[in-house]
Structure 1
Amino acid sequence: MDRFDRAGRWAAYGAAGAMAPYALIKVSWVVGAIAGLLPIGDGFGLAGWVVLNTVTIGMAGMAGMGITMALALVRPWGMRIPGPMMAFVAWVGTGFLVSMLPYAVLDSLWGMSGGEPQRQEVDGPSMPGWEAALIQISFVGMGLGLAVALPAYLRRRWPDVFTGRIGEDSGGRPSPVLWAVGIGAAIGIVWLYWAFGGTAGVAHPADRSANWRLLMGVCGLWALTASAATWAVSRGRPARLPRWIPLVLGWLGTGSLFAWSGWKLPFTLYLHMARPADFSLPDNLALAAVLHTAAVTAGAVMLSAFIRTHRRSTAPDVANAF
């Protein structure tokens, strides 16, 4: 076991340990509310409070999948998991967590530099500061762990994935991939336009916060990154670029498009149909739903370009795992 494999091993265990508190916190909220041990949130009845937090249990279930995936990256049984299943879970997980590491860093720097203060209402119960900090540590720790452990796993299981240069590929991709590249780029431009203060397509400009604009900016950059990486692999240009560069960037960018828009789309549709009086987003909900639907589709279609590249660059018995 070399130094990189040892780092991947410790990173995988660290990722699993970092995410465990998040699942425990979410379960404790629901159990505590039902048992009457925790106060019910302001404006919610018991049923509404349980439904709200039960939704977070679904996220805790995803956290459980993340913990399992982190352990699979380092334990021997992880090498026996079918390739498509492991690849999909890793793609979604890194799209959720690793792609948001720049946001976590910039958000922390913004707060420390005296940017927009984060205020909490004092009416009714609120999340203790230590819980909020622990949740943030869970996600950041999981993202950092996956960023190290996943490449180490891929190198062990598919050592030829990132070898060679993209110009060595035959090039030529079906038109759906190229259409997805254009759609992803257009989505990224729209999100960056909103991040830099544009108001066209924004229903409630006054509700925009610095965090909202920062998130739009990070998501927009990943959308453009996904499109640029897919275009490079699809066209075989620049010809001498090491294959691992667009593959890594494309993996993260397409995963970010698919995972984050796939998570936001159901909530956007709910808000668009229910129109709750006490909650709103800056976005035009109809436009946001269209963008998220397009982002999920574009991310999935662009991923197919990287899978085809992997199949051509590996031996047949390895490629058949996908």
Structure 2
Amino acid sequence: MDRWDQVGRNAAYGAALALSPYLLIKVSWVVGSLMGVLPIGKGFGLAEWVVLNTVTVGMAAIGILLALALVRPWGMRIPGALVAFCSWVGSGFLVSVLPFGLFSALVDVGGGSQGDGGDDPAMPVWEGALVECSFVGVGLGLALAVPAYLRRRWPEAFLGRVGDGPRTVPPWAAVVGAVVGVVWLYWAAGGTLGIAHPARRNSAWYVLAAVWGFWAVAGSAGIWTVARARPARLPRWLPLTFGWVGSGSLFAWSAWKLPLVLYVALTGPSDVTPPECLAVAVVLDLCAVVAGEAMMRTLVRTRIRVAASASHALPEVAIRVES
């Protein structure tokens, strides 16, 4: 076991431990709201609030199991597609949560009302701090544990240069993802086209729009680079990493936001007013989900082609990795 692998294993245990307080808090919200001893989130009825938080309980449980799967021997026996999908979605969520959590520790990004109805306004300070620590801890842990696991399970994907792989037609998904990212960056820079209620924007909204936009553009650039196999001497792991994280961010966050936006659009709660025009938000999130999924399929096909090429053309490299 080399030093990088040992760091990844320790980080996986740390990620599972860090996410445990979030899981317990979410369970308490569900139980407390059903018993009538805890308030319901702004803009939600009891049923919607319980469903929303039950989903997050399931996500937290999956996150803990995923972290353990990255380090325990039984994790290598789980179907690779399942582990890869959960890691991809988790990475997509956390690359946005991490900078947001770090920024909120320095600046009060909660001022004003974004109107998304996703947080409990009566959350105690200590509870909010635990939630932020959980997100930051699991994000940092998985940032080290996931690459170490992938390196153990699919070493060929990390070998060689971009130019070693076959050159293919750049996928349309990279273009769509880049366009979505540019729109988010435009909003983060203060643009008002597509914004129905400019006064509803606050610091949190700007930070998240900037992070989503950055990863959408960076991920699209990574996919484009892999597909074109240029520049040839660039290490393969670099565009693969940006493509992996960027496509995951596109898919995960937009798949999470899309049902909420549709709920607001269909029910029109009086106390929830998102800054974006709802029709524009629905189109953007839908495009992001489709583009993110298509970008991931491009990465999978590239890995399969590279693996086949490595098994025939680079047997001595594979032997070095296994030894």
TM exceeds 0.5?
Answer: yes
Partners of 2:157 and 2:307 within 8 A in 1: yes
Q: 2-side partners of 1:202 and 1:286: how far apart?
A: 10
Structure 1 residue 164 corresponds to structure 2 residue 163: no
Post-superposition offset of 1:15: 0.5
1:288 is matched with which residue? Answer: 281
Q: 2-side partners of 1:184 and 1:227: how far apart?
A: 6
Structure 1 residue 182 corresponds to structure 2 residue 179: no
1:54 is matched with which residue? Answer: 51
Partners of 2:30 and 2:53 within 8 A in 1: no
Q: 1-side partners of 2:121 and 2:207: how far apart?
A: 28
Q: For structure 1, which segment, 93-102 or 135-144, has the greater mean C-alpha deviation from structure 2 after superposition? A: 93-102
Post-superposition offset of 1:35: 2.9
| Residue in structure 2 matching 1:74, options 68, 71, 74 | 71
Say if 1:64 and 1:232 are closer, same or farther in 2 by CA, change over 3 A. Answer: same
Post-superposition offset of 1:156: 1.3
Structure 1 residue 143 corresponds to structure 2 residue 136: no
Post-superposition offset of 1:6: 1.6
Structure 2 unmatched runs, 5+: 114-119, 312-323
The one-letter code of the counterpart of 2:247 is T
Partners of 2:13 and 2:67 within 8 A in 1: yes
The one-letter code of the counterpart of 1:206 is A
1:262 is matched with which residue? Answer: 255
Partners of 2:42 and 2:121 within 8 A in 1: no
The one-letter code of the counterpart of 1:308 is R
What secondary structure is seen at the aligned counterpart in 1 of 2:233? coil
2:237 is matched with which residue? Answer: 244
CA shift digits 1:158-185 (9 cap, x unpaired): 1221111111112113xxx622111111
Identity over the aligned pairs, expressed in percent? 53
CA RMSD, aligned part only? 2.2
Post-superposition offset of 1:157: 1.3
**Count of matched residue positions in the alignment of Structure 1 and Structure 2:** 305
Say if 1:297 and 1:41 are closer, same or farther in 2 by CA, change over 3 A. Answer: closer
Partners of 2:33 and 2:50 within 8 A in 1: no
Q: 2-side partners of 1:64 and 1:207: how far apart?
A: 33
Post-superposition offset of 1:30: 2.1
Q: 1-side partners of 2:76 and 2:260: how far apart?
A: 36
Post-superposition offset of 1:316: 8.4
What secondary structure is seen at the aligned counterpart in 2 of 1:160? helix
What secondary structure is seen at the aligned counterpart in 1 of 2:281? helix
2:315 is matched with which residue? Answer: none
Q: 2-side partners of 1:130 and 1:168: how far apart?
A: 51
Structure 1 residue 272 corresponds to structure 2 residue 265: yes
Structure 1 residue 2 corresponds to structure 2 residue 2: yes
The one-letter code of the counterpart of 2:73 is P
What secondary structure is seen at the aligned counterpart in 2 of 1:202? coil
What secondary structure is seen at the aligned counterpart in 1 of 2:171? helix
